Amino acid sequence: MQKIIKHWVKVFAVCSAYLAVLLGFEIYTGAESGPADISALAVVTCLIETAQLTLCRGRTLFADNKYTTLELANTLFLKYGWQFCGTGTNRQKRSKWG
**Which residue, 36, 39, 47, is CA-closest to 14?**
47
Report yes or no: 39 and 63 within 8 Å, Cβ to Cβ. no
User: Strands 21-28 and 83-86: what pairing?
Assistant: unpaired
From the CB of residue 59, how many other CB atoms can be counted at a distance below 10 Å?
15
Q: What is the pLDDT of residues 4-58, one digit of tens each?
A: 556 677 888 888 888 889 998 888 776 665 556 778 888 889 889 988 988 888 8
Confidence bin at 79 (pLDDT 50/70/90): very high
Neighbours of 35 (CB within 10 A): 11
Q: Of residues 28 and 94, which shows the higher confidence score?
A: 28
